[in-house]
């Protein structure tokens, strides 16, 4: 597979990719002319991956953004095409947090202004005296990765930290010794306010004239997150009126920026430097290379922005069950005949306490393999279901009768269920077609439904033996003596067509599933 690197990334990331793939570094050729030759594309912030580029990327499987934001990638267009879009959200956490704290210190002690005055020959010691941070209240809006790192460092400076984030549990606030408050509560109490919110339609211009009006007189604002979180005109007015005692800004609504904020009083500005450290840039390159490699290898891309994202704790719990759900989805679809109108995913046991959306996507990914004329992956499987009018049902129950954790997938009522066994989390089939089973899931399997009469097992064994196909495992289940029985087998090699025809003779149903 071929990987196109469009902008500079760390050498370690390039070498990681070159160990597996054909890597081409081309920063000059027109992207729309060459993108169709590649399976993966890696960019930073300068390259614009538009819908037109995506349309021309006929082979593309993954777009890697070596950094946090994906504003320069048309994620919707990529998703429709089943292209994974992955970024490196952890790469700049430390750098961004340190820069925010640097702005906090510079703002409190007027360091840039004092420096500028001194190099211009003015000794203005009394003019640029500042305030201590110890015992001051730092308000943190957005308590994600960066917000938490800023809070840790502020606590080390003996500040009192109060934070707002509706998506963070109360336990996480308590762990760090940070007080949780409402959005307005943080505004009203903060002597210094730092922004770490994601930019969405809801958060755009969160800090406008109204929000600033609710802040303490003389409070100071730090923004090293997204420029559009702040109404810049309102901020300039607040600085000029003295409502705010100062502001430190690293990001702007339009960049490069040259506007009135640069000339406002008591302002500290930097040109979007928060992630601009050698360590962050190297980390971003390595992380995105790992994500691209995972996508091309058919693995789970943990940083994909167009696949449901779950927390680290949830992902650790779900990990062994994601490929299990995919296998069950594939099996259920094969048993149902492929043309279904409803797919249900049920999760039982302690696993149900986690965010299980990835299991649903995995089950859909497995179900559609071989049943659509387009490549299927974790990105476009839900879209394929929606396009086909398939109803997708998710259910969770915290108790399971016989297993600690159980995943059941149904395709139009045809049910299969599985769990994991042992320390190596082997994938185990525990029920299918209404029969209880006990065998390891395998790439090649046969399920045979028949009348529970003598001689069937021997005949089936002879048929496989005559065809030269070895039976690796077999289990038989029945609903009652003399009733119906289900035989499940895993086989070492593909079953030839003539064997499949022979298996169907005398059977109510015969299913052969092989990759």
Catalytic residues: 226, 255, 272
| CA 502 – CA 471 distance, rounded (Å) | 16
> Strand, helix or coil at 174?
helix
Write down how long the chain is.
515
Query: Which tokens sit at 160?
Result: 């009192």
Place of tokens 């108790």: 399
Strand partners, 223: 195, 249
* Contact predicate 40/296, CB 8 Å: yes
Q: Is the peptide bond before 256 cis (omega within 30 degrees of 0)?
A: yes
> Strand, helix or coil at 431?
strand
CA proximity to 328, closest of 421, 241, 419: 419
| CA 439 – CA 490 distance, rounded (Å) | 9
Q: First and final CA of the chain: distance in angstroms? A: 21
Question: Alpha helices, DSSP H only, in 120-266?
Answer: 145-156, 170-176, 183-189, 209-213, 232-241
What does the H/E/C string look like for 298-359? Answer: CCCCCCECCCCCCCHHHHHHHCCHHHHHHHHHHHHHHHHCCCCCEEEEEEEEHHHHCCCHHH
Phi-psi region of 242 (alpha: psi -120 to 50; beta: other; left: phi over 0): left
CA 66 to chain centroid, in Å, comes to: 15
| CA 394 – CA 371 distance, rounded (Å) | 22
At residue 18, φ and ψ (nearest 5 deg) are -65, -20
* Contact predicate 365/378, CB 8 Å: yes
């Amino acid at each position: 597979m071929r990987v196109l690197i469009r902008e500079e990334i760390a050498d370690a990331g390039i070498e990681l990719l070159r160990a597996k793939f054909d890597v081409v570094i081309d920063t000059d050729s027109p992207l729309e002319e060459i993108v169709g030759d590649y399976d993966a594309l890696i960019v930073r912030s300068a390259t614009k991956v538009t819908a037109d580029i995506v349309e021309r990327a006929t082979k593309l499987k993954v777009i890697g953004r070596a950094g946090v934001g994906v504003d320069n990638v048309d994620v919707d267009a990529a998703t429709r095409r089943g292209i994974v879009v992955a970024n490196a959200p952890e790469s700049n956490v430390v750098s961004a947090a340190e820069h925010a704290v640097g702005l906090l210190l510079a703002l409190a002690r007027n360091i840039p202004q004092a420096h500028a005055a001194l190099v211009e020959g003015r000794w203005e010691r009394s003019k640029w005296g500042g305030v201590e941070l110890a015992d001051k209240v730092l308000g943190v809006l957005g308590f994600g990765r960066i917000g938490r790192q800023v809070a840790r460092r502020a606590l080390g400076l003996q500040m009192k930290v109060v934070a707002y984030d509706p998506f963070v549990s109360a336990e996480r606030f308590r762990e760090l010794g940070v007080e949780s408050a409402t959005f307005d509560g943080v505004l009203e109490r903060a002597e210094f306010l730092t922004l770490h919110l994601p930019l969405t339609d809801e958060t755009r211009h969160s800090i406008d004239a109204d929000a600033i009006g609710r802040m303490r007189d003389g409070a100071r604002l730090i923004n090293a997150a997204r420029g559009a979180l702040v109404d810049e005109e309102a901020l300039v007015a607040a600085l000029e009126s003295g409502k705010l005692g100062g502001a430190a800004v690293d990001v702007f609504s339009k960049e490069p920026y040259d506007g009135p904020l640069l000339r406002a009083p008591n302002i500290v500005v930097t040109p979007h430097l928060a992630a601009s450290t050698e360590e962050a840039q190297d980390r971003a390159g390595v992380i995105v290379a790992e994500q691209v490699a995972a996508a091309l290898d058919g693995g789970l891309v943990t940083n994909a922005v167009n696949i449901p994202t779950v927390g680290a704790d949830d992902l650790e719990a779900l990990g062994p069950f994601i490929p299990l759900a995919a296998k069950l989805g594939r099996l259920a679809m094969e048993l149902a005949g492929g043309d279904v109108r409803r797919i249900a995913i049920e999760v039982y046991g302690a696993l149900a306490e986690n965010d299980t959306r990835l299991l649903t996507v995995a089950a859909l990914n497995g179900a559609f393999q071989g049943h659509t004329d387009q490549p299927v992956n974790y990105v476009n499987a839900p879209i394929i279901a929606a396009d086909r009018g398939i109803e997708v049902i998710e259910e969770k129950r915290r108790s399971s009768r016989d297993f600690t954790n159980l995943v059941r997938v149904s395709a139009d009522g045809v049910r299969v269920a599985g769990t994991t066994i042992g320390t190596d989390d082997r994938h185990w089939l525990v029920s299918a077609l209404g029969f209880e089973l006990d065998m390891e899931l395998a790439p090649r399997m046969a399920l045979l439904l028949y009348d529970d009469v003598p001689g069937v097992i021997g005949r089936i064994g002879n048929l496989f033996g005559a065809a030269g196909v070895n039976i690796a495992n077999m289990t038989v289940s029945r609903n009652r003596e003399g009733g119906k029985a289900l035989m499940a087998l895993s086989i070492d090699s593909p079953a030839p067509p003539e064997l499949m025809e022979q298996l169907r003779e005398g059977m109510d149903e015969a299913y052969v599933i092989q990759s």
